[in-house]
Structure 1
Amino acid sequence: MNWRIFPKKRTEDKKKTKKREWFDAIVFAVVVATLIRMFFIEAYTIPSGSMERSLLIGDYLFVSKINYGARVPMTPIAFPFAHHTMPITGGKAYYDGVQWKYRRLPGLSEVKRNDVVVFNLPVGDTVALENQEPSYYNLVRQSDWKTVNSQYTVTSRPVDKRENIIKRCIGISGDVVSMKDGIVRVNGKIEPLKNTGQMPYKIQFKTTDINFDLFKDMGFTVTEMEQVDANTYIANATPEMIGKLKTLDFVKSVTLAVAPEKTDDGDLFPLDPNRKWNVDNFGPIKIPAMGWTVQLDSNTMPLYYRAIRTYEGNKVEKKGNSWYINDKPATSYTFKMNYYWMMGDNRHNSTDSRYWGFVPEDHIVGKALFIWMSWDKDASFFHKIRWNRLLRGIN
């Protein structure tokens, strides 16, 4: 007679239970990691030199989602840990058949001037050049992206699945930004480039016998210095480096190497032939703020057309000399979102708001906090890790 109250479990059942435990543990870990990445903190890698010298290629960062408030996923059905492209297969890592409206949880603060911010690339009609590394995208802006030449691969993704990029916030909503002779002005006040950023300088020497080892010690990348003539070079440098350079007795003069005013670069925001702007001279431009009403005319529409149409989802048409928004005559428009002006610290090697204009608040991902790893792929094996950059805060 079997006196057991509960029957003994078979070996097969025990094995199934162990498998189920492992499965449950893996699912739990994936869910927790996904929620942390989605609502608290996310890793980010610096792919280009647009933020030098504050951030270098190969820096690995942690980006806080809670500082500005985590953005509720706008494309909720997606493969865990993949941004927009599946690993190995290369297909879409999300399903865009389900789209949620933009919502953001309460945060610790608003975006502030000089914050280093990660955000989604704001040009929805951006295309990626073929034969480039996957992490690198050339910004080719077209009025109608469907007519782009076949040499390009068109990418049109949901907002939260567009490329993540990192820049410094120069102006917040309501600010008036401009740039003259390479110097940024915010609300009429000069905002000098900090020692974390760099500009090209024209350096004239008194002699052709130059000890370039001195330049290396001051932080110059000698191999990137452009020789203009026997005594003149152009080099990227921070204000601090230039201060040291001017103390050398063989230096004749040092000046910013900037484009002359009224020189038209041709491909800058807002692509208005009546504005002769370049990367060193533009503006003034008022950044839209939620609740701000702008009068619509031939002067303002080139600046705000894209924000009104693309970012805020309105139908915008011009009939004769009048503007129509959602098929109704409009002489003014009140903005629904806040916007920001973003620029790279490496001012002459950055595609930023000077090219594609304002960054809407629904594109903001988070605030860059600190560097947890820095990897120099061009260094020798024993010097790959930049130990002096580990756990460095970002400011």
Structure 2
Amino acid sequence: MNWKFRQKDKESLSTQPTQPKKKKTKSREWFDAIVFAVIAATVIRVFFIEAYTIPTESMEKSLLVGDFLFVSKVNYGARIPMTPVAFPFAHHTMPVTGTKAYYDGIQWKYRRLPGIQDIKRNDVVVFNFPEGDTVALEVQDRDYYGLVRALGHEAVNTQYTVTSRPVDKRENYIKRCIGISGDVMSMSNGLVSVNGKPEPMKSTGQMDYLVKFKSADVNFQLFEDMGFVIAKQITAVSQDTYNFNATPELMAEVKKLDFVSSVTMHTAAPGAAEPDLFPQNPQLKWNVDNWGPVRIPKKGWTVKLDSLSMPFYKRCIEIYEGNKLEKSGNGWLINGQKADSYTFKMNYYWMMGDNRHNSLDSRYWGFVPEDHVVGKALFIWMSYNTDGSFFSKIRWSRLFKGIH
């Protein structure tokens, strides 16, 4: 009897209707969808691929202002966020308020996932601006250290609001990798040499050329038909001489024209010192077209610390690799210990723009540490200029074009 009662009781319980699940409201569904989309997009952006815009002319003719690129994080290995607490899709500044888009109270050490390749010479690389650790907010397009050299430390810090930024929140730059870790770089009369071997510019590199015509009467429409942008790539020097900014291949075609008297590459004279050039030592008498040799630091390479090496590697040791560096008599102290040499913990790279006379690059601020590397530029997904109607603005021939 007891067994029958328990069985009947169990059956009655099993036949009771189950409580229906509470249905989500429309607002909750939208909230969940937005949260999922933000998380998914952030994961893709951080670990796989990110969009990037070309803001300056430093990479012409490879990349034009108005090109929109996809940058791969997979090729060199995705960098684990070093400043993990940040507002999604904002790099370092909030778009409306202008305030910081990140919290720098939590910082993680530099780590990178395994990549499918190492950085190679001639790769087009996106990286964080090495000298972007300190910024004058009112003039963010100006290099802080260049401002200090021009105006003085006190004047800059009095006139502007100066702040510091973590590595992964520094401005994004895009250049071509000219030299990798361990390479010895130099440049003579506008021609780069890597490990003593001259490396002529490829078809994407641009230099300045002085073109002298046989007559002052020149039909410049011909140059437009060749692909030149008048007033931008061709400017007057005298009545019959003009400065052309173009690739060597294009200038070879100009030289063939019967009304052209001569074509000469326009470079700075050796010995004409530019004080802003890396390592900011006028006694070297280096300029944008004549400099070097410079050895790029490599992980595991040991350099002797002396008056010759320190101008080149002091920032790497102190800022990029986080050591306390002090001068002590005729020698140096690293983290309080006397040292006459230093072994590098990271690889470094030498980056330059293809438009050689219109690029602020490693010639001005030196080496790019590996922890600053963001990714490899893959292809252009959209490109437009500022002239004409909407459809004429789009550079159709550049859409989905690979970057070489």
TM-score per shorter chain, which class? Answer: over 0.9
1:259 lines up with 2:268 in the alignment: yes
Structure 2, unmatched stretches of 5+, are 1-14
Structure 1, unmatched stretches of 5+, are none
Moved more, 146-155 or 354-363: 146-155
1:77 lines up with 2:64 in the alignment: no
Partner deviation per Cα, 1:219-267 (whole Å, 9 max, x = no partner) = 2222122211111111101011101001101111111111000111111
In structure 1, the residue corresponding to 2:86 is in which secondary structure?
A: coil
In structure 2, the residue corresponding to 1:178 is in which secondary structure?
A: strand
Q: Residue 56 and residue 98 in structure 1: after superposition, are their counterparts in 2 closer, same or farther (change >3 A)?
A: same
How far, CA to CA, are the matches of 1:7 and 1:118 in structure 2?
Answer: 56
Partner deviation per Cα, 1:171-210 (whole Å, 9 max, x = no partner) = 0000001111011111111111111121110111111111
How far, CA to CA, are the matches of 1:116 and 1:8 in structure 2?
Answer: 57
How far, CA to CA, are the matches of 1:190 and 1:72 in structure 2?
Answer: 37
Contact 1:127 1:152 in 2 (8 A): no
**Paired residue type of 1:312:** E
In structure 2, the residue corresponding to 1:43 is in which secondary structure?
A: strand
Q: Residue 222 and residue 337 in structure 1: after superposition, are their counterparts in 2 closer, same or farther (change >3 A)?
A: same
Shift of 1:371: 0.2
Contact 1:295 1:333 in 2 (8 A): yes
1:233 lines up with 2:242 in the alignment: yes
Match of 1:137 among 141, 144, 155: 141
Contact 1:170 1:341 in 2 (8 A): yes
How far, CA to CA, are the matches of 2:246 and 2:395 in structure 1?
Answer: 20
Partner of residue 53, structure 1: 61
Equivalent runs, 1:1-395 vs 2, <5 Å: 5-7=17-19, 13-14=22-23, 16-128=24-136, 130=138, 137-141=141-145, 142=148, 148-224=156-232, 225-395=234-404
Contact 2:207 2:357 in 1 (8 A): yes
Q: Residue 233 and residue 151 in structure 1: after superposition, are their counterparts in 2 closer, same or farther (change >3 A)?
A: farther
Partner deviation per Cα, 1:43-99 (whole Å, 9 max, x = no partner) = 000011110010011100000000000000000011111111112222111110000
Shift of 1:37: 0.3
Contact 1:127 1:137 in 2 (8 A): no
TM-score normalised by structure 1 residue count: 0.93
How far, CA to CA, are the matches of 1:129 and 1:138 in structure 2?
Answer: 9
Partner deviation per Cα, 1:91-141 (whole Å, 9 max, x = no partner) = 1111100000000000001111000000000004543473x6xxx712231
What percent identity do the matched residue pairs reach? 67
Shift of 1:381: 3.5
Q: How many residues matched? A: 385
Q: Residue 123 and residue 39 in structure 1: after superposition, are their counterparts in 2 closer, same or farther (change >3 A)?
A: same
Contact 2:203 2:249 in 1 (8 A): yes
In structure 2, the residue corresponding to 1:274 is in which secondary structure?
A: helix
**Paired residue type of 1:5:** P
Shift of 1:305: 0.6
Q: Residue 150 and residue 378 in structure 1: after superposition, are their counterparts in 2 closer, same or farther (change >3 A)?
A: farther
**Paired residue type of 2:249:** E
Q: Residue 259 and residue 156 in structure 1: after superposition, are their counterparts in 2 closer, same or farther (change >3 A)?
A: same
**Paired residue type of 1:103:** R
Contact 2:133 2:165 in 1 (8 A): no
Contact 1:129 1:151 in 2 (8 A): no
**Paired residue type of 1:383:** S
In structure 2, the residue corresponding to 1:33 is in which secondary structure?
A: helix
How far, CA to CA, are the matches of 1:23 and 1:177 in structure 2?
Answer: 54
**Paired residue type of 2:213:** F
In structure 1, the residue corresponding to 2:121 is in which secondary structure?
A: coil
Shift of 1:149: 4.6
TM-score normalised by structure 2 residue count: 0.91
How far, CA to CA, are the matches of 2:228 and 2:144 in structure 1?
Answer: 31
Q: Which has the higher helix share?
A: 2
Q: Residue 70 and residue 92 in structure 1: after superposition, are their counterparts in 2 closer, same or farther (change >3 A)?
A: same
Q: Residue 8 and residue 286 in structure 1: after superposition, are their counterparts in 2 closer, same or farther (change >3 A)?
A: closer
Partner deviation per Cα, 1:342-375 (whole Å, 9 max, x = no partner) = 0001111111001100000000000000000002
Larger radius of gyration: 2
Contact 1:287 1:340 in 2 (8 A): yes
Contact 1:41 1:63 in 2 (8 A): yes
Contact 2:79 2:113 in 1 (8 A): yes
Shift of 1:309: 0.6
**Paired residue type of 1:297:** D
Shift of 1:211: 1.1
Shift of 1:339: 0.1
